[in-house]
Amino acid sequence: MEIIEQIVTSANVFSLKGVSEISDEQRYLLAYKELVYYLKYLFVHYNNQISEIPDNIFDWEWSKFLLNLNNNDDINEVSIITYNYDIWLERVLNKIGISFNLPPMINGQEKTKFKIFKPHGSISFKHETDRDISAFEVNYNDLHSDCAADDIQIEYDELWTNNTAVFLIPPAGDSNRSTNNLNVCVRNLYEEKLKNYGKNDLVIVCGLSYWHVDRTEIDSLLIGPNNDTNLININPCVNQELESVMNSLFKNYVHFNSSKTLKDVVL
């Protein structure tokens, strides 16, 4: 893990320069590009291991909760910020019949209650046309793949393809340091929403590790809502530092050990 931290930290700091072009001498940045490609195809491989979402997904507590949110007319919008590259969430929502979009990409789903923000990218983001898989190679020209959001398509089926643009930020990466058009656009959208959260809103945090390399980015999310926002943290392993931060920032904070308690949440 130490070498991964070195590679990603180098890329994080280099991103602050506001340039993307890299040279053959910058070996840590070249390794960063290889890491990004590896992560994409690793998660595509894992995604392919589950060909169909099983019917018993409806019994999952999160599925029940999300359906309750979707069917509640008093709830205007559900915003989900996830750092996951995979498309498990999207596949589950499709299975249980919930429409969603991924701002700023719309892809025909403009008016939906559910909005998913992926500041670290996704294996579903695709730019331009695929190349023949036999011609696969890592594109070392630029540190980050970047383009306008309008040029990105969302693809859930044909993922095992050769596409030169990979829109992922590796673990320990910090999208706050990125000046890329896509990352900045996604970040600005959800940060503006968070500033308007208050006593009539509910924020649920699930599965955050609060590792030292992630804290700056997570902190930027936590300081967004007003302190009277209702906050729930769901995690079987309590992180004492994260607990202290949440208790300090929010007046209405509770911690749950399991998603099974979601059935008791009053909406």
Rounded CA-CA distance 234/254 in Å is 9
The pLDDT value given to residue 177: 57
**How many residues does this entry show for the chain?**
267
Q: What is the pLDDT of residues 68-116, one digit of tens each?
A: 999 999 999 999 999 999 999 999 999 999 999 999 986 656 689 999 9
Beta bridge pairs of residue 78 = 114
With contact defined as beta carbons under 8 Å apart, do 135 and 162 qualify?
yes
Rounded CA-CA distance 191/111 in Å is 20
With contact defined as beta carbons under 8 Å apart, do 87 and 123 qualify?
yes
pLDDT at 241 over 60: yes
With contact defined as beta carbons under 8 Å apart, do 121 and 167 qualify?
yes
Task: Please enumerate in sequence order all residues whose Cβ is within 8 A of that of 244, keeping only pairs 6 or more positions apart, or say none.
Answer: none
148 phi/psi in degrees, rounded to 5: -70, 145
Average pLDDT of every residue of the chain: 89
pLDDT at 52 over 60: yes
For residues 215-225, average pLDDT = 92
The pLDDT value given to residue 13: 85
Helix (H, G, I), strand (E, B), or coil: what is residue 209?
A: coil
The pLDDT value given to residue 63: 98
pLDDT at 195 over 80: yes
**Alpha helix stretches (DSSP H) within 102-235:** 181-195, 215-222
As a whole-number percent, the residues of the chain with pLDDT over 70 amount to 94
- Is the torsion defined by CA of 102, 188, 30, 1 positive or negative? negative
Rounded CA-CA distance 229/225 in Å is 6
Quote the longest CA-to-CA distance of the chain: 57
In this structure, what DSSP letter does residue 205 have?
A: E
- Is the torsion defined by CA of 147, 150, 156, 160 positive or negative? negative
Least trusted range by pLDDT, from 122-131, 170-179, 202-211, 224-233: 170-179
Q: What is the pLDDT of residues 149-187, one digit of tens each?
A: 778 889 999 899 988 888 888 876 555 555 566 778 888
Q: Which two tokens stand for residue 196?
A: 């308007």
Beta bridge pairs of residue 126 = 153
Q: What is the pLDDT of residues 112-158, one digit of tens each?
A: 999 999 988 999 998 877 888 888 888 888 877 777 777 888 999 98
Q: Which two tokens stand for residue 133?
A: 């898989």
| Angle, CA of 67, 98 and 77, to the nearest 5° | 75
The pLDDT value given to residue 88: 97
